Structures are given as structure tokens and as C-alpha cells.
A and B are shown apart, each in its own frame.
Chain A
Amino acid sequence: MLDYKKYLNISLLVKRRQAMQLRPLLSIRNLTVEFRVPRGILRAVDDLSIDVYEGEILGLLGESGCGKSVLAHAILKIVDLNGYIKSGQILFNGKDVLKMQKSELRKYRWKEVALVFQGAFSSLNPVLKVSTHFIDTVEAHERISKSEILSNGSALLSMVMLDPSVVFEKYPHELSGGMKQRVIAALSLILKPKLVILDEPTSALDTLTQKIFIKLLRDMKNKFNLTMLFITHEVASMAEVSDRVAVMYLGNIVEVGTTEDVYLNPLHPYTMALLESVPSIHSDLDKIKAIPGPVPDPVNPPTGCKFHPRCPFKMQKCMENTPPLKEVKPGHFVRCFLYE
């Protein structure tokens, strides 16, 4: 027990120090994304600011409908037709993505930032072999020979524990869900992007495949010093994969910090409720309980702090004012009036 605590303290110190020295690769500043829906305007991302540091896996945790996927799409400037980026800045390596020319955007997508879509199973073309996927992807961006592409590709496939000689010749339907997911992970790295965004990559996999996939991701991250944004609603898997976690609720970030800080010492009432809602194999089942109340209608969100209708600690001012995101401990931010 003592060792566990000691290890924890040391690793936390190291992590906090690292976080302060790191350089943000992607900075999002006051981003607002809205959608026109029949009932009015839906603000999917609301004045959101966050940094993704070089060489880290940042986890974005939230329930469905909180705007996680919209944020991922906005980073690549591919928001759906009925949506638009209302205001804010997305800085990648200091360059504003929202002001990029078409040709710049083309380079930025996949070469700089690769996105693995949710339900990636269907993002492989069913009539193309795996090898063709690799060749097509690279040829759209670079001029190198097919044999070179395939040798790069096989190195990546071996990284994700697939046998390239077998898998290259397969069509997507011949692969299992876990194998497809790993092919897509390898494919997303073929152009050596600086940032990989993974949108719910593990949600359709069973626990054994999930565990393997996450271990492989961490290995790849350490080997290539990759930067990743990992989006999921799976509270438990997130603990294993990410270095830092940002918790999102109805378009806002409500808490950010190192994974250890957020999971072992959650500050926001929503984070606490979220952590109490997942049963695991060792957890004390008497403490497990669902989050009270339904998710509010995003078209008419509650006034003030958006979590107040479900919050056990709500105060008068929570209904009137929106709390700011405040640094409570070095590197640990929370958006809640309890920490004023």
C-alpha cells in the first residue's frame, strides 16, 4: 500500500513538471461551434479552450451528445453542412487552421493531423484490399514508390501485431473488428502525422480486444513520441490510455488535469458522478450509482453552470452565473464555484 502511494506521488510530481515544460502542439482558444436544427440553434461546443501538448495522449471524456466528436471535426475544419464555427481560434504549431487556404488545409489533414472516425469499421472501403488502402492514402499526399509505401506499411502493421503478408491481401470483411481497428490505427500513422485524433476507437470492441488495442496505442506513442487526442465515453478505459484527461459536459470542459489527478482526486461534481457510475471487476459495488437526472436538452441548456440541475452541491449562484475554468492545483483546472 505504501509503495503504491509513494509511486503515485513521484509520478504526479514528474508529470506536473513535464506538463509545464511542454509546448502545446494544438491550442484551441474560445472555440464555439453551432448547428442549425429545426428547433433552433444548438451550441455543440461553447467557448472551449484547451491545449494538446507535444508527446502526450490527451483524453477527452464525456457522454454522448456533449460535443466531443464535433470538437474533433472542428479541429480538422470538417464540420457538417448545417453547422458552422462561430468564433474562436484553432492554432496548430502556431498557425491558425481556420484561416488556412484550401491547399494548406489539404496538407494539414492527414499529413499533420489524422482523424480516426467513430465507427471506423465502416471507414475502410469494402472493395479494396488493405494494401490498396495504404497505397491510395499515401499517393494522395506524397510521391513515393509503391514498394516503399508497402514496406512502411508493413512496419506499422507489425507494430499493431498483425502479420503484414497476410493482412495486406485481405479485404475488410475478412478481418475481425479488433483487426480492422488496428489496421485503421496503422493506416492513420502512415503519413507520420504529428497529431492523431481517435474518436471512440474502442467502443465497439469487446473488453479483451480493447485492452490489447490500448496497450498497443501506448507502445506506439512511446516509440514514435506521438501526440494523440483520444475521445471516448468509456470512463474505465480512459484511465489506462491517457496522460491527461479533459472532462466535457454539454460543450464545455469542466475539468482538466493529469489522469492521476482527475481520477484519484476528482474535483468537479460531474467528474465524481461519472467515476462512480462504472462498475469494474474490483470496485466496491455498493458505491456504484448512476448519475441522477437526464442530460438536459442541448438546444435549451440550463442557465449558469450547465450541470446544476443534476448537481448535489448546487448553490444559488450556480443557476445564475457560469463558473470560469480555474487552476486549483498546478495543471489541474476545474469549472465549479465550489473551488472559489
Chain B
Amino acid sequence: MSETLLETKNVTKIFEVKTKTKKEKLVAVENVSINIEKGRDLVIVGESGSGKSTLGKIVLGLMKPDFGTVLYKGKDIWKMTKEEWKNFRRNAQIIHQDPYSSLNPMRTIFQTLSPPLIQYNLAKSSQDVQKRVSELLSLVGLVPPSDFMNRYPSRMSGGQMQRVAIARAISINPELIVADEAVSMLDASLRVEIVDLLLNLKNKLGTSFLFITHDFGIARYFIKKGGGKVAVMYLGNIVELGEGDSVIQKPMHPYTKALIASVPIPDPVKAKASEVPSLRSLDLTQPRINFKGCKFASRCSYVREICNNEAPLLRLVDDREVACHLYD
């Protein structure tokens, strides 16, 4: 067992959605416990609306959970002293999904990358800052650095901007990086390049990743090259959690199966012969409040009576945890 870097214990986040006539409660993340070990990764896979980004924000302390605790090296992040908090926030960084809106368009790349270095005393003189920024740019493959330092984001391509966002995240040597759909906005052909870059940095710097994606194809690539666990989320719950390789080889939860079956196959003959995953309903439906059963029941093709009456709990089946009545 290696050292636990960050864990969440039964965190729940509820949003209030106000419409003209009524107030509704939306449970974005429900009772989620995850555990990120030092130097290892956790990949979270789920559709849009499954609560994966909210979980990412909770992990980073950008959002306070309504119930449950987030522990960083055993300490509750919401009960930290100012010093401890500062240290935590320095060690947990994020790469956003959309590089077009996560970089300030009014700042050159140098102006974006230098403030954290000064703030955290990682560079003493202005030459030092200059040197460190150019090191960072070469590290993320923006060479020669002098070409990019004084550019504005508008003069760069999406892939280049995402590299800057990565450089910013690693600039202060964090222990944990949350990559929230960090490659989804990029061209399909560029994704591998950026994932390779993340994995490279991980090997060099020993950073742990919480890698959030909707694409099992990318998740598989990340896991195969980097190792780590995968957690599948559906409407705020983790429905399957286990070692990445074995989950992908042999998915157990019907939702995981559907997600894996939906990954596009770059072979026209096999792709055209492939079937749409067997689901009873195509669209994600938010179950009504106080619904007691499994949230996936309305779409699941294996549904039984118990699924509508009793929510399945995440429990150990073989080598992993699954929340499904099929394995009762």
C-alpha cells in the first residue's frame, strides 16, 4: 500500500435549481468515496451530467461538499489552518476542458505563466523567471520557447493553448493534477499527443492525476500507459470502481458495458456491423426526487423488480466494487 494523497469520504453535493414556479434539488454527487494514492492515477468516466466535473471541483477544494469530508494527507481540507490550506492549494492544480476560455486573452503566455512562480518564490530574479518559463515551455513541447513567450492566446492553436494550460498546472510542482476533459475539445488526432505529454510529465515529476473523461477509448490509452484505477459515474454515483485494465476487459455494471460498447471503432466494417448498446431509453433521465431504486433502472435492459425499489450499494464483487443488483 502506498501513501494516500487525497481521499473523499461519502461526499454529497446538492444544487438548488430554481425555476419560475418551483425550487428543485439536484443531487450532483452522491455519497462518493474515492482514494488517490501518491504517484498513481484515478480515471473517472461518465456521460455529461454524471457529476464528474463537480467531483473534480470538490477534490480541489473549489467547491464545498454538503456532506462528507475531503482529506488531504489525512487532514480535512475544510478544517485547515491558513498555512495548511495554502500548501494544499499549491499542491492540487487543474487543467480545464476548454483552453480557449481558461487562458486570459489579454495576457501573453509569459504574463500567464510568471505570476505563480513569483507568488510561490520559485524564482528569485527576473532572469530566473524568464529562465523558468522557458524551461516550462520546452517541457510541454512549445519550442523554441522564445517564439511563444510573448504571444497572446489568440495567436495559438487549440493544442498549443492546452499545452500552455498544462505548463501552468505543473509550474509550481503540484502533487495532484485534476485534468477535467483536458483533451475532449481537441482534434481527435491531437488527443494522443497531449495524453502522452501528461504521462511523460507524470513519469518525470511523479504527479498523480485525476483524469476525467467521457471517452473510454482515451481512458483506456491513459490507463494502459500510466496504470491506475477507473471509476465509472452515473448521475452522481460511482457504479463501478476497480483496476483500470480489468474493468475495461471485463466490465460488470450494465452502464459500464454500454459506455464501452459506444466507443467508436475506426474500422468501417466492424463499426457498421456494431449495435447500439442495448438501453431501454436513449436519454439520461433524472429520476424524480425520493426515488428509492437504482438511478440507472429506467435505461437498463437487465432491470428487475428490486431495481425500482432499492438502490444498490457499491460493494466488493471479485476484484472490484460494483453497485448493481445483478451481483447480489
Binding site for B on A (CB under 8 A): 4, 7-8, 11, 63-65, 161, 176-179, 206-212, 215, 218, 233-237, 239-240, 242, 259-260, 263-264, 273-275, 277-283, 285, 288-291, 294-295
**A290 to B189, Cβ gap below 8 A?**
yes
A279-B217 contact in complex given A179-B283, A240-B268, A290-B192, C-beta closer than 8 Å? yes
Contact with A along B252-290 (1 / 0, CB 8 A): 000000111111111111011010110000111000000
Q: How far is the CA of A204 from the CA of B264 in the complex (A)?
A: 14
Name B206-220 residues within 8 Å CB distance of A. Answer: 214-218, 220
**B187 to A208, Cβ gap below 8 A?**
no
Name B200-231 residues within 8 Å CB distance of A. Answer: 214-218, 220-221, 224-225
**B216 to A281, Cβ gap below 8 A?**
yes
Instruction: Give the nearest-CB partner of A240 in chain B.
Output: B271
Partner of B214, one of A65, A206, A278: A206
The answer to the question of B150 belonging to the interface, with a C-beta cut-off of 8 Å to chain A, is no
Inter-chain contacts of B84 with A (CB < 8 A): none
Q: How far is the CA of A282 from the CA of B192 in the complex (A)?
A: 16
**Nearest Cβ on chain A to B194's Cβ, whole angstroms:** 9
Inter-chain contacts of B259 with A (CB < 8 A): 207-208
Inter-chain contacts of A179 with B (CB < 8 A): 283
Q: How far is the CA of A294 from the CA of B141 in the complex (A)?
A: 11
Per DSSP, are chain B's interface residues mostly helix, strand or loop, or mixed?
A: helix
The answer to the question of B196 belonging to the interface, with a C-beta cut-off of 8 Å to chain A, is yes
**B47 to A277, Cβ gap below 8 A?**
no
Per DSSP, are chain A's interface residues mostly helix, strand or loop, or mixed?
A: helix
**Nearest Cβ on chain B to A100's Cβ, whole angstroms:** 34
The answer to the question of B48 belonging to the interface, with a C-beta cut-off of 8 Å to chain A, is yes
Q: List 14 A-B contacts (CB under 8 A).
A: A8-B269, A207-B263, A236-B265, A239-B265, A239-B266, A240-B265, A277-B191, A278-B188, A278-B217, A279-B192, A280-B265, A281-B263, A281-B265, A288-B221
**B269 to A235, Cβ gap below 8 A?**
no
Partner of B190, one of A211, A237, A240, A290: A290
Partner of A278, one of B47, B192, B269, B271: B192
Inter-chain contacts of B282 with A (CB < 8 A): 161, 178, 209, 212
**A234 to B188, Cβ gap below 8 A?**
yes
Partner of B188, one of A176, A211, A235: A235
- The listed residue with most A CB atoms (<10 A of its CB), out of B47, B160, B193, is B47
**A4 to B277, Cβ gap below 8 A?**
no
Please tell me the number of chain B residues within 8 Å of chain A, measured between CB atoms: 44
**Nearest Cβ on chain B to A244's Cβ, whole angstroms:** 10
Inter-chain contacts of B49 with A (CB < 8 A): 176
Inter-chain contacts of A176 with B (CB < 8 A): 48-49, 283-284
Instruction: Give the nearest-CB partner of B49 in chain A.
Output: A176
- The listed residue with most A CB atoms (<10 A of its CB), out of B216, B259, B276, B282, is B282
**A211 to B277, Cβ gap below 8 A?**
yes
**A259 to B268, Cβ gap below 8 A?**
yes
Inter-chain contacts of A294 with B (CB < 8 A): 157, 160
Inter-chain contacts of A161 with B (CB < 8 A): 282
The answer to the question of B248 belonging to the interface, with a C-beta cut-off of 8 Å to chain A, is yes
**A264 to B268, Cβ gap below 8 A?**
yes
Q: How far is the CA of A208 from the CA of B196 in the complex (A)?
A: 25
Name B45-91 residues within 8 Å CB distance of A. Answer: 47-49
Inter-chain contacts of B221 with A (CB < 8 A): 279, 285, 288
**Nearest Cβ on chain B to A177's Cβ, whole angstroms:** 6
A239-B264 contact in complex given A207-B216, A212-B276, C-beta closer than 8 Å? yes
Q: How far is the CA of A281 from the CA of B265 in the complex (A)?
A: 7
The answer to the question of B145 belonging to the interface, with a C-beta cut-off of 8 Å to chain A, is no
Q: How far is the CA of A289 from the CA of B271 in the complex (A)?
A: 21
**A275 to B215, Cβ gap below 8 A?**
no
The 8 A-B pairs of least Cβ separation, nearest first, read A290-B193, A236-B264, A240-B271, A206-B214, A279-B221, A211-B262, A259-B268, A277-B189
Q: How far is the CA of A266 from the CA of B6 in the complex (A)?
A: 46
